[in-house]
Amino acid sequence: MNKIIVAAGFDNLSSRDMRFLEEAAKHGELHVLLWSDDAIRHLTGNPPGLPLAEREYFVQAVRHVARIHLSEAPFDPDTLPDLDGFRPDIWCVDEAGASAAKEAYCAAHGIQYRPIPDLTCAGFPTPAPLPLTGRKKVVVTGCYDWFHTGHVRFFEECSELGDLFVVVGHDANIRLLKGDGHPMFQENERRYLAGSIRYVTQALVSSGMGWMDAEPEIHTLKPHLYAVNEDGDKPEKRAFCARHGLEYVVLKRTPKPGLTRRTSTDLRGF
């Protein structure tokens, strides 16, 4: 299998970044050269919005990524630094980062150079479900607007309880519950981001209304557990689980050890 390299800072990983990673991974085993904090300062003139440890945690959670490589020293973005003997077969770059200098570097080092057009990364396809493991089924629900490492950590913890199904609230219901200006990102984009995380077996969009907008999907999935964090603990959810014999699990909202606590409200500013 070809070894693919992509190189970027992936500061506050976006859906566009995720689409690029997905398309790059179609060419082989995907390796990410993740720029260090110093490299970002050197290349952009600004410090990163998120520190390296948090960016690394986020990128490694993407199901398309096989391995992350780090380079501490500042480097020329049109070349690849030494990666402890790792030699890629293909260097994938997005359209904005394509350059004649990168192409010349690849030609000189026997690496295939493969720009990925923006048009290829358009849209948000439904992520394919992962195979079931035979463990219990766990369902979580929510908006998952402005996706961040707090969401990733919640999914990671929930996946330790069983095969994880994420039901993303549809746009009309999010507006009903949260008011005008919500959600910032449409339901298909939010489903795409949630479903691209390696801890998630399948991501769906809800079809009901109110705090139990995922009731139709839950009846279809027939999960064993319904997991929420402290902010998502609602009487309606507790009552639903009691009526239907689901185990109701409330998790503490704690970040991955060593990382900063993140919320969508703080990141978007309202």
Question: Model-level pTM?
Answer: 0.94
What is the sign of the dihedral through the CA atoms of 152, 154, 159 and 165?
negative
Note the pLDDT of residue 266. Answer: 64
Largest CA distance in the chain: 66
What 8-state DSSP symbol labels residue 27?
T
- Looking at 21-30, 76-85, 211-220, which range is the least confident one? 76-85
Res. 117: pLDDT tops 70: yes
17-42: average pLDDT: 95
Q: Which domains does the chain have, with CATH numbers?
A: 3-121 (3.40.50.620), 137-268 (3.40.50.620)
The three-state secondary structure class of 190 is helix
Alpha helix segments (H runs only) across the chain: 15-25, 37-44, 52-60, 100-108, 149-159, 171-178, 187-195, 215-221, 235-244, 264-268
Backbone angles phi, psi at 40, to 5 degrees: -65, -45
Residue 252: which pLDDT band, with cuts at 50, 70 and 90?
very high
Note the pLDDT of residue 85. Answer: 86
Round to whole Å and give the CA distance between 134 and 129: 14
Kindly list the distances between the CA atom of residue 7 and the CA atoms of 26, 91, 94, 231, 255, in Å, as whole numbers in the listed order.
16, 9, 10, 36, 26
Residue 162: which pLDDT band, with cuts at 50, 70 and 90?
very high
186-202 pLDDT, tens digit each: 999 999 999 999 999 99
Backbone angles phi, psi at 103, to 5 degrees: -60, -40
Residues in the chain: 270
